[in-house]
Amino acid sequence: MTINKSGNFLTEGPVGKALLIVALPIIISNLLQSVLEVVDMYFIGKLGDVSIAGGTMSIMVLMVLTTVIFGIVTATAAFVSRAYGSEKYERIQVILLHSLYLALGFSAILAAIGFFFSENLLLLMGAFPDVAAEGSRFLTPMLMGLFVMVILMTLTTVFQSTGDSKTPMYVMLAVNVVNIALNPTLIQGLAGSIPAFGIAGSAYASLISRAIGVLLLIGVMYLLPSRKNSPVRFPKKWTFEPKLIRDIIVIAVPSAIQSGIRSVAFLSMTAIIAVYGTAAVAAYGICLRLDMMGLIFVMGLCTGVAVMVGQNLGAGTIERAEKTVKYAVIINAVFMMIVAAVYLIFATEFLKFFGATGTSLADGTLFMQIVPLSYFIVAIAMTLGFAMNGAGMTRPGMYSAIAGQLIVQAGLSAFFAFSGYPIQYIWYAVVCGTVVMFCFDLFFYTRGGWKTKKLRIEGEEKPASKID
């Protein structure tokens, strides 16, 4: 086994301290991203019910269409962290370039879909004509400008994967400030100077703020003296390595399928719960929002785990990678048990704060009495899943999502709903799906295949073709 002596704090020194150093800025970035989404929906909400419905359905379409991009980002993180940990710094630039080839190529396809078919996609999802027309005013520019978000996501991932999670955090703070300033300005307009774009203004604000984020990150890469020798930059000579493209795709596809299954499961669950009425759907939406709020910390720590696992496997310090996962499992499980306790005690207050009343409050209360009991299992499963993703082993997550979310959760929910069982059985189905996902993740993690997962970091044996 090789021992790393590079002074890299992620591969040397106290494990817990290193994990918190890399994860805390990511957690803050996730919080800022959540604030950004709330701000977007707040200002769209002022436009009326049609705009709210159009915006909500457009976001659901974006979730489904961008699954491939999330897969590419996961693969990028695995390759970059492995290259950094093994001190093959020159390859980081090449990996960044080829990840952008894939992500931007797919973004071009989505841009064409957005230009020609946005309204049709919303109609296909069951939107009324007025909702589809309004939603397309948001969805079209978002899809056509998606390349901006893709570049920001890719650069952010590369920074984080080299252990620098603070820079993306500061950039996300700037993005938030710009977006919050632009949202009301572009949605409502300024008399005599800027017209009111309505819901389209929210899309423009999102894209402009992200474009500024891209410029800030590029500025950090090339203008800060302290980053003069940093490997995070674009290569001087642009090349094309078909094998690297293929290797990224091999890791990206299972991750993309996993993300797609989650989106499909969410849409399926919404349709199934609709059997119980509008109030049940509202309760489910509010409870999912509470779920995501509780998981912000866990997701940030898990991202840090993925980075540390990748770097330590690259450095040959496998035991340190295992210790990182153990630390994160304990921290995340304890944190989510605290969150579960808070939700169980204050369920009614939280639900009322987000607008639940009457039947939706009753249905939501049942959810909060059942599902949070499995939060610690969710935390452990996520930690193990992210650890394997960081190693470049993405198939277990795909199998877990298929079995847990699609077959068990959605399948059981459909059976209960159409057999006339009360809604609390749907919430039990959610827990069952969680347990199955945990079992899959635990099985593949304990088998240990992730510890010997090989990634081709070196260049091709033959000279790669150059792009002039």
DSSP string, 17-78: HHHHHHHHHHHHHHHHHHHHHHHHHHHHHTT-HHHHHHHHHHHHHHHHHTHHHHHHHHHHHH
The average pLDDT across 424-433 equals 95
Q: For residue 448, which of 325, 361, 359 has the smallest C-alpha distance?
A: 325
Q: Which residue has the higher pLDDT, 364 or 461?
A: 364
Average pLDDT, the chain: 89
Q: What does the pLDDT read at residue 466?
A: 46
Could you tell me which residues are beta bridge partners of residue 190? 194
Q: Which residue has the higher pLDDT, 460 or 232?
A: 232
SS3 11: coil
In the chain, what percentage of residues exceed pLDDT 90? 62
Q: What does the pLDDT read at residue 460?
A: 54
Q: For residue 44, which of 32, 34, 33, 56 has the smallest C-alpha distance?
A: 56
Evaluate whether 168 touches 25 at the Cβ level (below 8 Å).
yes
Evaluate whether 283 touches 356 at the Cβ level (below 8 Å).
yes
Asked if residue 376 has pLDDT above 90, the reply is yes
Q: What is the pLDDT of residues 49-102, one digit of tens each?
A: 778 778 878 887 888 888 889 999 999 999 999 999 999 999 999 999 999 999
| Of 13-17, 243-247, 351-355, the least confident | 351-355
Sorted by sequence, the CB contacts under 8 Å of residue 15 that are 6+ apart come out as 308, 320, 323, 324, 327
Q: What does the pLDDT read at residue 268?
A: 87
Q: What does the pLDDT read at residue 10?
A: 85
Q: Which residue has the higher pLDDT, 190 or 467?
A: 190
Instruction: Report the phi/psi class of residue 162: left, alpha or beta, with left for phi > 0 and alpha for psi in -120 to 50.
Output: alpha
Q: What is the pLDDT of residues 303-344, one digit of tens each?
A: 999 999 999 999 999 999 999 999 999 999 999 999 999 999
Q: For residue 303, which of 5, 73, 49, 134 has the smallest C-alpha distance?
A: 73
Asked if residue 446 has pLDDT above 50, the reply is yes
pLDDT-derived band at 273, boundaries 50, 70, 90: confident
The full set of domain ranges for the chain reads: 14-236, 257-468
β-strands 239-240, 465-466 pairing? antiparallel
User: Chain centroid to CA 378: how far?
Assistant: 16
The reported pTM is 0.87
Q: For residue 427, which of 288, 259, 279, 333 has the smallest C-alpha distance?
A: 288
Q: Return the sign of the alpha-carbon dihedral for residues 224, 228, 233, 236.
A: positive
Q: What does the pLDDT read at residue 465?
A: 45
Q: Which residue has the higher pLDDT, 350 or 82?
A: 82
Q: What does the pLDDT read at residue 463?
A: 46
The average pLDDT across 113-119 equals 92
Residue 450 DSSP class: G
Evaluate whether 119 touches 132 at the Cβ level (below 8 Å).
yes
Evaluate whether 138 touches 4 at the Cβ level (below 8 Å).
no
Write the single-letter amino acid at 16. G
Asked if residue 403 has pLDDT above 90, the reply is yes
Asked if residue 391 has pLDDT above 60, the reply is yes
Asked if residue 354 has pLDDT above 60, the reply is yes
